[in-house]
Amino acid sequence: MKKQQQLRPGSYQSGTGFIHRYQELVRKEMIPYQYDVLWDRIPGTEKSHVIANFQNTARLLKGEQPEEGFYGMVFQDSDLAKWIEAASFSLINHPDPELEKELDDVIRLIGEAQDTDGYLNTYFTLNGKEKRFKDLLEGHELYCSGHMMEAAAAFYQATGKDSLLKIMEQNVDCIYRHFIEEKAPGFPGHPEIELALLKLYHLTGNQKCLELAQHFINVRGVDTEFYRKEAEARDWSIWGNDPNNGEYQQSHMPVRKMKDAVGHSVRAVYLYTAMADLASLTGEAELLEACRALWDSIVNRRMYVTGAIGSTVIGEAFTVDYHLPNDTVYGETCASIGLMFFASRMLELDPDRRYADVMERAFYNTVLAGIQLDGRHFFYVNPLEAVPGVSGKAQTHLHSLIVRPSWYACACCPPNAARLIESIGMYAYGENETTGFCHLITEGKVTMENGLSFLCETEYPYGFQVTYRIEKGGKTLALRIPGWSRSWKAEKNGQALPQNLVKGYLYVETADGDEITLYLDDSIRRLYASSKVAADTGSACIQRGPLVYCLEGVDNGGDVLSLRLKENGAAKALPYDASLLSGIIPLELEGYVSAPQEELYSDRKPEQIPCLLHAIPYYAWSNRGENQMRVWIPEEK
């Protein structure tokens, strides 16, 4: 089969359903709100100062006195880059002259903050040019450049303007000169630029981008002592990171030898995404096998049922196989976004349902849970169990907040979620010369470069009939049948189609005017974890369609810790409630509530009183104040 590629930006337009609702939330709330945050215009919100950093850098480079020094995290520039990307994708979906002018203005400012040699980073320009590229372990210079490269690609695709693209091409020249021509040793402490360089290469064909991406991937972990030697060569540091912790920054071995997902989870999946993209370009078998082994490590031994990854706050990291605690999980929103990136690149190499199933799980559960329904509050950490008085309070749970803050000092997740949602069509659909691939079920209109165009009509993820109306056919349509759908059927123009799947996809030949309909399983399922996962022993998780459900205190008398599911008990989906949590289908489940017990320990088992449990989609939790919440629910006979 010919390799597929992501759908180009603008080829998908959401309709009126669930995805459209979220894209409207991004357009109307998240993008303007985040823009004001970057300008420090929101009272009572964590200070960003991103725009001020660029303004002060521009003053310095003009020979003027900056009003103040750098403020924020060393990677603060990347918040603006991701906002530019989100806003650019929004422009593709909804032209907006005012938003475009805001983009033009900040890009002009970015250009003013770029040094004459192409170097671009406000932290190091304001804090001393002599420190540039001297702390790759912590400095995030290449990470920030990578995000700005992605922003440049998105802005060009949205507007046809190459203003930011030219800035970043000069930055590529600067980095290429340092690492390739001058042969400076080293590789990024936080992977990101690798996938961004490949994205620019796909867009522009600039060979320097490809060569740099290959270089950073190929040299990573070859010299496992590099960061230690780098630290010994300078008498300063930014954070005091341990240069000997190779697993944390994925420098413990060459990438082609990696088999287990370790270390900082966002760094890991960003690297794996670039590895898969490069393998797709070169066809290299060894690199592809490493990607497959790492995928298997994540999804079969180190991933939560919500698609969250990163089991510990210590290093925001993977730990060991089957260690998946629910209350102290890290589960960073950015990590699940990165997992979606990795899944998308693996789908390009191999259209296999297992990649799209994980991409869907991560999106509908962890990624969306990272955003409050008002679009103005966000989770960095996504726990599967929360208890007021413990979560965010106990020393071991300080990271696990129970209410979403309005911003963060480290604000990587909010703009990351915004750019993903606005560009979701690129992940939902793919194509090659002969076939259009439907990886995710998203309502709206799709127009592919291979000539295929169609409308997808559905109430997914709450409705399970999906109709594809072919406007222009003559190509094959590959429809993913989700792995969770135990029963399904498909029709073409009213006639049943054979249930012949290839790696989970139904391949259907199309002609103009065809109507293809999928009927998926709407049943409520109970999922059980492997017995190797200690945290979930004796418990079940509820799922309907792609949505993982949870119990929240406000729906269950305040105390979900005393609730039990009745083994083999009845479960039913209640009618869609448009007034509840922006519109959901709640579930009602047979269960028990344990009678109160005053003693800390007792030799008397608490009485189990029959009751009904009320569950909501996990993504919608923590929208009604402080509540207990639990995803994995103990079962009782």
417/415 Cα distance (integer angstroms): 5
Report helix, strand or coil for 572. Answer: strand
pLDDT (average), residues 583-609: 95
> Phi, psi (5° rounding) for residue 373?
-65, -10
The confidence score (pLDDT) of residue 409 equals 84
Q: Which residues contact 134 (CB under 8 A, 6 or more apart)?
A: 230, 233, 234
Residue 394: pLDDT above 60? Answer: yes
The mean-pLDDT minimum among 82-91, 183-192, 235-244 falls in 235-244
pLDDT on residue 407? 87
User: Chain-wide mean pLDDT for the chain?
Assistant: 96
The string of DSSP codes covering 481-548 is --TT-SS-EEEETTEEPP--EETTEEEEE--TT-EEEEE----EEEE---TT-GGGTTEEEEEETTEE
Q: How far apart are CA 233 and CA 369, in angstroms?
A: 43
pLDDT value of position 128: 87
| H helix or E strand, kind and range, residue 408 | none
Q: Mean pLDDT lowest for which of 42-46, 461-465, 575-579?
A: 42-46
What the block records as the tokens of 499 is: 């249930």
Domain ranges of the chain: 429-519, 524-636
Which one of 169, 316, 348, 360 is the catalytic residue? 316
Torsions phi, psi for 468 (to 5 deg): -110, 115
pLDDT in tens, 240-276: 899 999 999 999 999 999 999 999 999 999 999 999 9
Res. 482: pLDDT tops 90:
yes
The verdict on whether 412 is a catalytic residue reads yes
Q: What is the DSSP letter of 476?
A: E
> Cis omega before residue 461 (within 30°)?
yes
pLDDT mean over 224-248: 95
**Cα–Cα distances in angstroms (integers) from residue 162 to residues 77, 151, 224, 336, in the given order:** 20, 11, 39, 31
**pLDDT of amino acid 2:** 62
Write down the pLDDT at residue 555.
98
Question: Can you give the pTM of this predicted structure?
Answer: 0.97
Which CA distances in Å does 510 have to 444, 454, 480, 489? 18, 10, 16, 17
Domain 429-519 indexed as CATH 3.40.50: no
Residue among 304, 375, 358, 435 nearest 582 (CA): 375
Flag whether pLDDT at 61 surpasses 70.
yes
Comparing 26 with 45, the larger pLDDT belongs to 26
Q: What tens digit of pLDDT does each residue of 339-387 get?
A: 999 999 999 999 999 999 999 999 999 999 999 999 999 999 999 999 9
Q: What is the DSSP string of 47-103?
A: ---HHHHHHHHHHHHTTPPPSS---S-TTTHHHHHHHHHHHHHHHHHS--HHHHHHH
- Please report which confidence band the pLDDT of residue 614 belongs to, taking 50, 70 and 90 as the band edges: very high
Instruction: Please count the other Cβ atoms lying within 10 Å of the Cβ belonging to residue 318.
Output: 27
Least confident segment among 103-107, 127-131, 285-289, 558-562: 127-131
Kindly name the residue from 412, 413, 541, 550 that is annotated as catalytic.
Answer: 412
Q: Look at residue 495 and tell me whether its pLDDT is greater than 90.
A: yes
Confidence (pLDDT) at 62 = 96
- The pLDDT value given to residue 17: 95
Nearest CA among 519, 521, 490 for reference residue 506: 490
Alpha helix (H) residue ranges in 377-412: none
Q: Average pLDDT of 12-21?
A: 95
Banded pLDDT at 82 (limits 50, 70, 90): very high
Q: 589: helix, coil or strand?
A: strand
Task: Determine how many CB atoms are found less than 10 A away from the CB of residue 495.
Answer: 7
Q: Phi, psi at residue 40, to the nearest 5°?
A: 60, 45
pLDDT band at residue 410, thresholds of 50, 70 and 90? confident
